[in-house]
Structure 1
Amino acid sequence: MRRLLSLTLSLALTHSAFASIATYDLLPEGSSSSILVRNGTSEIESHNAEQLMPPASTLKVVTALAAKLQWPNNEFRFSTELLKQDQDYVVRFSGDPSLLRKDLEALLRPLKGKTISDDLILDDSIFTGYTRGVGWPWDVLGSVMQLQLARYPWKATVFKPLFPLMRMVVVVFMCLRFNQLRSLAT
């Protein structure tokens, strides 16, 4: 793994690899490009360096490699928890992109048949900033390459009619008297 990272970085960061970058006029009309290459404090190559853009796929590869080096045995796991604090129930989210309807059903199952006398709190406090990077285009969110951070990352299927789950959710919200649902982030 370290050899692959070393090879990738050495190929990507050699000056000769950037010798052909100055052919911006060969890009198709309407293309956007931006690059800033530095060697320490000296600038090697620059083109529209001040232009903010979504991360390129190569940056995503470097990020994935860094994550793999940090957790080599794939031991990192997202967690979504149901907690009880005093009389409140708290659903604590971590941004799990794989959270499905069945996961939500399993998470709320202990509440089935219970009356919640106080609040059901959706804790998304792990997110403290924007859900999109500064400079990211807002009109390409349909692209699979355009990752959006989600406070409650449920797929759309979670909100389709789910008769057993919806009955349970309706009971939960009835017990909350509709006006006690709050988010810690707001």
Structure 2
Amino acid sequence: MLKGMAANEESALAAFTAGDEAGLAFLFRVYYPVLVVFACKFTSKAIAEEIVNEAFYKIWEKRSMFNSLSHFRSYLYKIVYHDCLKAKQVAIPDELPSEAIDAFDYNAELIKSETLRHLYQAIESLPAQCKAVFTQLYVEGKTVRETADEMGIAVSTVKAQKARGLVLLKAKLGTIEPGMLLLSFFLLR
């Protein structure tokens, strides 16, 4: 399934570089949430959202230069990273000393963001009811009872959909154990 998602991203990138706004919209939906999480490591959520929006505008202006998905991703993350540092220095110059910038492991954060992006994509590909249950339980942090009440289904149905979601995610994401998958999900947020 991840190969299929990558193919969709490749197709969207080709459309994007050709000037098709549908390609931009697809890439925005895929990358916006994880880039905001990435940017929040440096600044507030409101500023992070503004920086990510601006990054997509900047990248649209340079769309013809991207010849691969990895080049696109790398450039996008670097724009967001540098703009966050600029915003931080302008807004609160003393809050982020240079040793903190040096100590920050950009590559580790990039890996976390990409892992989170794959996880979100896999959750999005779950069947509708399974996705709704999984999202309420793991993304929104609701209990099984709250989820059952809100969705108007039995507790046993919620538990079954939760188990089904874990099995499907494990199949989509490879050999990651379900417990490790969920641990990764919560650690990467």
Please say whether Structure 1 and Structure 2 have the same fold, judged by a TM-score greater than 0.5: no
TM-score (norm. length: structure 1): 0.25
Higher strand share: 1
Structure whose CA Rg is larger = 1
Instruction: Normalising by structure 2, report the TM-score.
Output: 0.25
Q: Which has the higher helix share?
A: 2
